[in-house]
Amino acid sequence: MKKEIIRSYLIIAVAIIYHWLFWQANMGLNSLIFCWLVIGILYALEPELYRSRPVVITTLGTLLTGLVVVWQNSLLSKVAHLLSFATMVGFAKQRQLRFLGFAFLLMIISFGEGPKRWINQWLTPSFMPRPRLAWRSFRLSLLPLLAFLFFYLLYYLANPQFSQLSDRFWQYLSNWMSFNASPGEILFFIGGLWLTVSLLTKSTFSNFHQFEANTGFQLQRQRRKTPLRGMLGLQQEFQTAWIMIIGLNVLLLLANVSDLYAICFEDQRLWQASHYSNAVHGGTYLLILSILLAMGILLYFFRRNLNFHPQNSKLKRMAYFWIAQNAILAFLLLLRNFDYILANGLAYKRIGVMIFLGLVFIGLTIVWLKISERKTTFFLAHINGWSWYSILIVCCFINWDIFITQFNLKQAQQHPIDYTFLLQDVSNKNIPLLIEHFERNEVSEYHRELLDRKVHRFQNRTKSWKGWNWSDAQVGQYLKSKYQE
């Protein structure tokens, strides 16, 4: 009960700190401070968290993404930091969990479960401090408080710098205690309190833990019939799977051969920007749909006893052939996307296609491993989840805005530069690169005006140490030195 009382008072204190850090401030240094604070409190209240590998890994991921937010302050780093933060707290609530998806969902559930549990605690009579205990605490703290006040007065009278600092503190506290908050600020504080309660309260939701406890990574043969259009036997299910996978392989083979022929032998002049765009984005949607549907079919047929069928070796070979064909499909799409980038430059969606194709290759490898080693679907989801999490963390360390701008400006001889995209869609990080490029090259007055507007918006942004980040500081320093010359 004592630990729960401490936890409740810490929740209130952290909510006040959250409000102070984030009210009317962008994500930056405040995000790193807040995540350090929450992580420190969680580990202080639950020292056993050090023994949980998922908790430690996601804690490191949260701290790393927090540093990247302060360093680059990109949208990707902010999203990755929030996702990693939520997942880490989910693992901390139930250390037995292994699956990233369950940890994240548990954090989402805590937004409803946590505040209800916290309010019920305060309504419990035994939770409130007793008068005798409060009087005893007051007596114990009276002498240290008097000593603190005595030495505070001595330092205040003897040290002018300390007295000025003290005056500023009391003035700030007086302004803060005046309670001239707007309705929006009150709602923001309530939202911060709700968030803090959800982060720091324990969870009693045990469905995910029970599922993982009853589900392993290795398939076990089960002596029961498999429902497929009624109660069909295992042999009929094997025949159905055989026919369906062969049909999918033939269909995908025709699609891959026709695609490869188009790349190697068709007139490349037909592949203009619009044609490339339709081929890449349309191919991406086709790839997503085909992989999800075909993967779902394979997971359905290889979910249970069909893995132990006496003749399942030939079915597995056809499944491996389907996996290889999907890898070829992804590789052909990779070539199309690469040619599209060389012809039209880099953009966020084109980078997203490349990252998605990397995830596809990883997913296909794990599906192959699941079938060959007779693993469960939970194994597939578990490995995929940690793979996606790792790639997300790695991608945060790449400054995509600078990379896109540098690549597109260097490709000026191969294709026209889309200055409108670089000026309106890419963040302020590329301002120094654009200024240097515009000084060396002929650019339309329209695009020069767009650059001036971008610089003006950056210089007139709301500035606060709470949202400080290294990237904006470098751009600001560049503009300051540039205009002082």
| pLDDT tens digits for range 150-163 | 888 888 888 888 88
In the chain, the number of structural domains is 3
- Tell which residue, 20, 75, 13, has the closest CA to residue 471: 75
Residues 41 and 189 in one domain: yes
324 and 192 share one domain: no
Give the per-residue pLDDT at 384: 92
What is d(CA 181, CA 179) in angstroms, rounded to the nearest whole number? 5
Do 336 and 298 form a contact (C-beta atoms < 8 A)? no
Q: Quick one: 141 and 260 in the same domain?
A: no
Least-confidence region, from 144-148, 320-324, 363-367, 444-448: 144-148
For residue range 419-430, list pLDDT tens digits in order.
999 999 999 999
Residue at 221 is within a domain: no
Average pLDDT of the chain?
83
Rounded Cα–Cα distance for residues 297 and 251 (Å) = 15
Residue 64: inside a domain: yes
- Amino acid of residue 287: L
| Residue 266 and residue 137 share a domain | no
End-to-end CA distance of the chain: 65
Residue 383 lies in a domain: no
Structure tokens of 179?
A: 């309670």
What's the CA gap between 166 and 159, in Å, rounded? 10
Q: What is the 3-state secondary structure (H, E, C) of 296-320?
A: HHHHHHCCCHHHHCCCHHHHHHHHH
Mean pLDDT of 119-143: 65
**DSSP reduced 3-state for 469:** coil
Helix, strand, coil % over all residues of the chain, rounded to 5? 80, 0, 20
Q: Contact, 318 vs 246, CB < 8 A?
A: yes
Q: Is 276 in the same domain as 324?
A: yes
- The conformation of residue 411, written as its DSSP 8-state character, comes to T
Domain hosting 424: range is 400-484
Same domain, 336 and 272: yes
Taking the C-alpha atoms of 392, 397, 402 and 403 in order, what is their torsion angle to the nearest 10 degrees?
Answer: -70
For residue 218, the SS3 value is: strand
Q: Average pLDDT in the 396-423 region? A: 89
Q: What percent of the chain has pLDDT over 90?
A: 39
**Mean pLDDT along residues 284-309:** 71
> Residue 242, Cα to own-chain centre: how many angstroms?
39
**CA 84, CA 390: separation in Å to the nearest integer?**
10
> Which DSSP helix (H) or strand (E) runs through 284?
helix 273-301
Q: CA–CA separation, 294 vs 252, rounded Å?
A: 10
Judged against a pLDDT cut of 50, whether residue 229 lies above it is answered with no
**Of 464, 397, 472, nearest in space to 30 by CA:** 464
Across residues 129-140, what is the average pLDDT? 62
Both 232 and 208 in one domain: the answer is no
Among 431, 284, 398, which Cα is nearest to 349's?
284
Q: Beta partners for 226?
A: 232
CB count, 10 Å around CB of 286?
Answer: 13
Residue 104 has pLDDT above 80, yes or no: yes
More confident residue, 355 or 411: 355
Whether residue 326 contacts residue 290, with contact meaning beta carbons closer than 8 Å, is answered with: yes
Question: What is the pLDDT, as a whole number, of residue 216?
Answer: 80
- Domain closes at, from 329, 360, 375: 375
Structural domain includes residue 9: yes
Residue at which a domain ends, from 186, 212, 238: 212
Q: How far apart are CA 393 and CA 64, in angstroms?
A: 8
CA distance 286 to 331: 14
What is the spatial distance between Cα 276 and Cα 282, in angstroms, rounded to a whole number? 10
- Give yes or no: residues 39 and 97 share one domain: yes
Exposure b/e, 56-79, CB count within 10 A at least 16 = b: ebbbebbbbbbbbbbbbbbebbbe
For residue 315, count CB atoms less than 10 angstroms from its CB and return exposed for 0-12, middle for 13-18, buried for 19 or more.
Answer: buried
Residues 140, 88 within the same domain: yes
User: Does pLDDT of 1 surpass 80?
Assistant: no
Alpha-carbon distance of 6 to 9, in angstroms, equals 5
> Token pair of 274, please?
């619009």
Is 386 part of a structural domain of the chain?
Answer: no
Assess if residue 218 is contained within a domain. no
Mark whether 333 and 442 lie in a shared domain: no
Residue 307 pLDDT > 60: yes
Domain assignment present for residue 389? The answer is no
Residue 62 predicted with pLDDT over 70: yes
Beta strands per DSSP E along 235-312: none
Residues 23 and 96 in one domain: yes
Does residue 285 surpass a pLDDT of 80?
A: no
Among 126-140, 302-316, 383-397, 470-484, name the one with the lowest average pLDDT. 126-140
State phi, psi for 175 to the nearest 5 degrees: -65, -40
pLDDT higher at 427 or 462: 427
Instruction: Give the DSSP letter of residue 394.
Output: H
282 and 199 inside one domain? no
In a domain, 380, yes or no: no
